[in-house]
């Protein structure tokens, strides 16, 4: 995992416009390369600067890329995002993750989320991490429980009712 940067505009544009991202996370209104570039600057880069953490690009290791494509990649393949978000409406950072559809249900979500939780504990020294999901996002809820989260309650954020999970580190 690494910080998202200006070279990731096409990847960010693709990911934010997948049906599962729009359904379970929300439509961010990012439809062009210029909007993706602005989104990276105002969301990702700003969070790294302001909070010392954010959402990170999840990339396949070279051997995994080769196994999937039988071609040595000249650059790592971005498959998703995983990291921490600090929202004004929540008392602690929350973990977020999203994968391109072709990489879902292959263990990459678990691997990246578990690594992020270890990073949160060992490097960021976070005492607690939260997570939110839409009411119908059972897959994310199961992944959260697998990495140590417990369901707390339903909460209202904006005009949505969401499931709130927590995990003490």
In order along its 169 residues, the chain shows pLDDT tens digits of 999 999 999 999 999 999 999 999 999 999 999 999 999 999 999 999 999 999 999 999 865 555 555 555 567 899 999 999 999 999 999 999 999 999 999 999 999 999 999 999 999 999 999 999 999 999 999 999 999 999 999 999 989 999 999 999 9
pLDDT score recorded for residue 70: 57
Domain locations in the chain?
Answer: 2-168
Contacts of 102 (CB under 8 A, 6+ apart): none
pLDDT score recorded for residue 76: 85
Q: What is the architecture, at CATH level 2, of domain 2-168?
A: 3-Layer(aba) Sandwich (3.40)
What is d(CA 66, CA 5) in angstroms, rounded to the nearest whole number? 24
pLDDT score recorded for residue 167: 98
* Sign of the dihedral through C-alpha 141, 50, 161, 134: negative
What is d(CA 128, CA 121) in angstroms, rounded to the nearest whole number? 9
pLDDT score recorded for residue 98: 97
What is d(CA 127, CA 155) in angstroms, rounded to the nearest whole number? 21
């Amino acid at each position: 995992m690494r910080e998202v940067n200006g070279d990731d505009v096409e990847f960010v544009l693709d990911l934010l416009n997948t049906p599962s991202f729009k359904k379970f996370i929300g439509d961010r209104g990012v439809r062009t390369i210029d909007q993706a570039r602005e989104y990276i600057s105002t969301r990702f880069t700003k969070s790294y600067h302001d909070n010392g953490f954010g959402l990170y690009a999840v990339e396949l290791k070279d051997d995994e890329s080769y196994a999937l494509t039988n071609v040595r990649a000249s650059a790592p393949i971005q498959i998703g995002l995983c990291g921490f978000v600090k929202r004004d409406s929540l008392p602690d950072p929350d973990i977020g993750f999203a994968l391109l559809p072709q990489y879902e249900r292959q263990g990459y979500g678990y691997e990246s989320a578990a690594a992020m939780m270890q990073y949160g504990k060992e490097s960021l020294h976070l005492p607690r991490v939260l997570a939110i999901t839409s009411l119908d996002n059972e897959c994310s809820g199961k992944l959260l429980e697998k990495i140590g989260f417990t369901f707390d309650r339903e909460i209202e954020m904006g005009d949505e009712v969401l499931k709130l999970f927590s995990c003490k580190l």
